[in-house]
Amino acid sequence: MTAAIEGNYLFEEYLLFMATFNYRKMNKIAASPKVGIWWLYNGELIVFSERSHTPVTQYSYSSLIHYELWPEVQKKYPELRRKEYTSIPRGRVESTPEGFFLIMSKESGQDTALISRLLSEFNVPRHSYQIKNDEHYEPSDENDIWEAIMSGENEPSEDDDFDFSQFHSFMNEYDEEAA
């Protein structure tokens, strides 16, 4: 073999090695478990995730926050523009030394199809997770409550324990600050 042919052969062998190395590295990165937040809307899983940057021996909390990313969801789903981020099922995935926590409402935690989709989307090993029900993630539509108050529905009666004088005082202060 001449030196030129041998050099080309070594270079091609090097390129093949690097391509294989990079392919394996990219597959490992793509398959790495992630942490983050999610919503479920009309059967579609809406996910914002990030790779965990801490060792598996430490807790890894996502820096993603539902109320900060809600405007992004509303851009994609204009029908949600008048809704609060709490109005549809949501949750988060966090990493712990013991495995992963899928944190969500009780109802969502009983949905095996949703759990399977979350495990797949966040690349969570099927043997390494716990479901944590948290009432903070129970859906509530604050807009509906607000609209009921503003429309006069369910006018308060003397039997109510709620002190509406404090509420009206708060609203008057809010209106003055906004003006």
Residue 26 is predicted with a pLDDT of: 46
Residue 28 is predicted with a pLDDT of: 44
As given in the structure block, the two tokens for residue 98 are 């013991």
d(CA 88, CA 159): 32
Residue 102 is predicted with a pLDDT of: 95
Residue 42 is predicted with a pLDDT of: 95
Residue 62 is predicted with a pLDDT of: 80
CB 53 within 8 A of CB 34: no
Residue 121 is predicted with a pLDDT of: 95
pLDDT digits (tens, 9 = 90+) for 27-57: 444 478 899 999 999 999 999 998 875 555 5
d(CA 79, CA 67): 17
pTM for the full model? 0.62
Residues of the chain with pLDDT under 70: 1-30, 53-60, 141-179
Residue 97 is predicted with a pLDDT of: 81
Residue 51 is predicted with a pLDDT of: 85
Cβ neighbours of residue 2 closer than 8 Å, sequence gap 6 or more: none
Alpha-helical regions (H) of 31-152: 66-76, 106-109, 112-121, 142-151
Q: What is the largest CA-CA distance in the chain?
A: 102
